[in-house]
Structure 1
């Protein structure tokens, strides 16, 4: 057998890739599994978006930078909802989902041996991509009693001379914690002080959140920060793979050098659909969040039965719940899966700081959530 590249030695297959195979196997065995683990919206995209896709009849290669109208729609969206001015010509780069942007950004700015500050708990892809390009992940711990915000004073006690990128993610996944202007100002000052590129991953700012924010709204942010965003959660377009990275033209041009060697442009119809989505009024978010609020209230009932605590002020597509003291996250989720046919994500998927927590997805229709409530109605983890 041909040996694999050394870069794979420290990279594991994505947790959900492995676990969902097991869940599918259980379903094939006749188990009535309800999946509350994955944040893949089950609601449909807006009708205007679907119509734009259907009516598109162009099938050739597209620009690596995306349609000018798409970039303009992204810039207008940022101005309308985040009060951020962007030049659509060179400060906006559409992506095939923001996840690919994590790789493109890392390849554009990191060399072998460079270090990257990564939140714990946090999105596992930040660390795996860092390892794939042979840079070094440096985890910074987040704590519930500090709003799941980075302790920059503690981070500064370490040698930061090799750090090139710091990943942040507000509203935070998996905890749902929101950032604010004060936090963003501190992060920008930190980045400038240590010559670190701050990357805010921002796909959840319109889900159960009345005050969407961008780190680029802070004065001087573009000098040292870029932002990833996505239509996946905001417009129920996860499978369409539409995202974006925005920021200073020098940063965007560097990322484009990578991206233009990785794909041949986004399908025209998808871009036309994305344009229509970005033009929608705020009524779209209001209607979507009414559904999620109703679902979240059922998840809160489930948490109460299990003896878990949770933050009612959190945002995003998940409920992050603290399990009773002395219990282990994976033991709890496995017990619920095997005994009650419900898949819930253990907090440890997102790092060591996730021990003691479990995560519920809101991407399941109400009746199925009520079925989960019924299945575990006599269960208590205390």
Structure 2
């Protein structure tokens, strides 16, 4: 009899895929839902980005298959971007792989390096896709706890106590999602030293480095990081291009070449117009990010006010496009989120989605305009 694969039984439908069906149903019933759960930028891209797409799409030659590694101009633009903002030197042809969003890069990296039975270090709380991809490939998740008292940084003394003999990859992500915790170069140095000591790939997911952050950082600012690390980056948040699906992966040439083998069997290249738009985005100057962060800063102050009205607390020295708020002791995050949704028609994300260490917290997105946040405050 026809049956599904074992891997499908090991994963659940993505939380937002399920929950948004319910939210959309409430909207269709006329409920005035304020959606503060999703990190999808509501602001438009810079006009030059849209113009670059338009010009390219108007040319007949733009509509064929494209190179699996992106056009040379796009790879060079990523390299120039890293040089300009992170002071990191990358070889455009050998050390950069453009992606259709960095989320697919999580799958490509995992498929390249993992066999069944291998283990993966995954932050808790952390991005749920790290876990689901690991399960889909038949590998095992080895969660490492991040706690508020350690600024949501890894406890390396605790990591050293684990049996790391089967660990191939360690996922890490700073500025951290969902907590917004920042990293300094000392933390990156510890991660690189840990990876080299135990021969574990340090896979750094870096899509939030410009959001409410005055000093963007890359793990490749650490000398020798390319020996053991890979870094994902994205235009989704920094350029308001989430739906365009443009990201990149950087690392040493032999690893990028191996990952390209996987990618080339899964897609047929990125639409040329999108690549041209990405080139325009990568060429934007500091003024773009300052303007963006002025908007997010105003929104964040309002969300802090909303958090206080709800009887919660939050850390304010954070980056990224979320506010991570602590519930009063004893409250369940899923129950709180449902109560907020059904009573006040405000949707936020329960911390439990991001791991057991996320229980007792909820996440507010800053991808909501000031008027909507003020309305949420008024409702409370």
The two structures have a TM-score, normalised by structure 2, of: 0.98
Aligned ranges for residues 1-382 of structure 1 at < 5 Å?
A: 2-56=2-56, 57=59, 58-376=62-380
CA shift at 1:307, angstroms? 1.6
C-alpha distance in 2 between matches for 1:163 and 1:314: 30
Structure 2 CA distance for aligned equivalents of residues 131 and 332 of structure 1 = 29
**Unaligned residue ranges in structure 1 (runs of 5+):** 377-382
Where has structure 1 moved over 3 Å in runs of 4 or more?
none
Per-residue deviation at 1:306?
Answer: 1.1
SS at match of 1:41: coil
- In structure 1, what is the Cα distance between the partners aligned to 2:29 and 2:47? 37
1-structure distance, mates of 2:257, 2:218: 21
User: 1:284-332, CA deviations, whole angstroms, 9 ceiling, x for partnerless residues?
Assistant: 0000011101111110000111121111110001000011112111111
CA distance in 1, matches of 2:178, 2:66: 35
Q: Secondary structure at the match of 1:9?
A: helix
Shift of residue 2, structure 1, vs aligned partner: 2.0
In the alignment, the residues of structure 1 paired with residue 360 and residue 150 of structure 2 have an alpha-carbon distance, to the nearest angstrom, of: 16
Q: State the SS of the aligned residue for 1:179.
A: coil
Equivalent position SS for 1:312: coil
Q: Distance in 2 between matches of 1:2 and 1:40?
A: 37
How many angstroms apart in 2 are the aligned matches of 1:363 and 1:143? 25
Q: Distance in 2 between matches of 1:199 and 1:12?
A: 24
Distance 1:293 1:36 in 2: 16
**Structure 2: unaligned runs, 5 residues or longer:** none
Which deviations, in whole Å up to 9, do the C-alpha atoms of 1:125-154 show, x marking residues without a partner?
A: 000000001111111010000010011110
Per-residue deviation, residues 99-149 of structure 1 (Å, max 9, x unmatched): 000000000000110000000000000000000011111110100000100
Deviations 1:158-182 (A, max 9, x none): 1100000000000000000011100
Name the SS of the counterpart of 1:164 in structure 2: strand
SS in 2 for 1:360: strand
Partner Cα distance (1:249, 1:211) in 2: 27
Structure 2 Cα separation of the partners of residues 66 and 143 of structure 1: 39
C-alpha distance in structure 2 between counterparts of 1:46 and 1:2, whole Å: 49
CA-based RMSD of the aligned residues comes to 0.7
Q: Give me the whole-angstrom Cα distance separating, in 1, the residues matched to 2:356 and 2:330.
A: 15
3-state DSSP class of the match of 2:364? strand
CA distance in 2, matches of 1:9, 1:50: 41
Q: Identify which range, 113-122 or 248-257, moves more after superposition.
A: 248-257
Count the aligned residue pairs. Answer: 376
**Cα distance in structure 1, aligned partners of 2:186 and 2:313:** 27
Find the aligned partners of 1:363 and 1:296 in 2 and give their Cα distance. 10
**CA deviation string 1:230-253 (max 9, x = no partner):** 000000000000000001111111
TM-score, normalization by structure 1: 0.98
